[in-house]
Chains A and B, each alone.
Chain A
Amino acid sequence: KQEVTQIPAALSVPEGENLVLNCSFTDSAIYNLQWFRQDPGKGLTSLLLIQSSQREQTSGRLNASLDKSSGRSTLYIAASQPGDSATYLCAVRNYGGSQGNLIFGKGTKLSVKP
């Protein structure tokens, strides 16, 4: 059974720092991996999607990497801003089995202090 773990559970940094969020998964037979942002009381906003054949994806100040063989992904946020404060969720989509649903980690709650 696929399990997704995110470390750390919470992170507080001063504005301007670069930071890395970690995600690990137990079954490397994934179709893709997606990083989401969730603001309090809101749904999930998709940030980046990495296909299993890809190593990384970039969008603005965000860069996500994928090492499928070791079951790891990282989300790098450059020059953090207070507006980046949110919970960041990692999710994988497995091959086969059910029809493409995502399996989520518990998230990392990020706080960027001005």
Chain B
Amino acid sequence: AAGVIQSPRHLIKEKRETATLKCYPISRHDTVYWYQQGPGQDPQFLISFYEKMQSDKGSIPDRFSAQQFSDYHSELNMSSLELGDSALYFCASSLGGDQPQHFGDGTRLSIL
């Protein structure tokens, strides 16, 4: 069975630009989560959606926004990019909010 698909795998942007990361959850999974993993750090929860509604919010900067669409895929929109936004961004999905989360391979975002 296909896992969580994230695109793009790698993205290079300059400061003050915008970026959009996409996440396609496992089939029938209704909950998606976004995490940010800085170099040498553990993943930090950003935001999650259940049935297309935001369900929890973590340490997501105001410059970032996200949404979940009718087909359950999700997009993370990032504006006014800063050097400190360089990180690996993971999406995870689960069937319901209290079930094991399965992660995608991540999008590596580099800000020049």
The answer to whether A and B come from one shared complex is: no
Residues of B within 8 A of A (CB): none
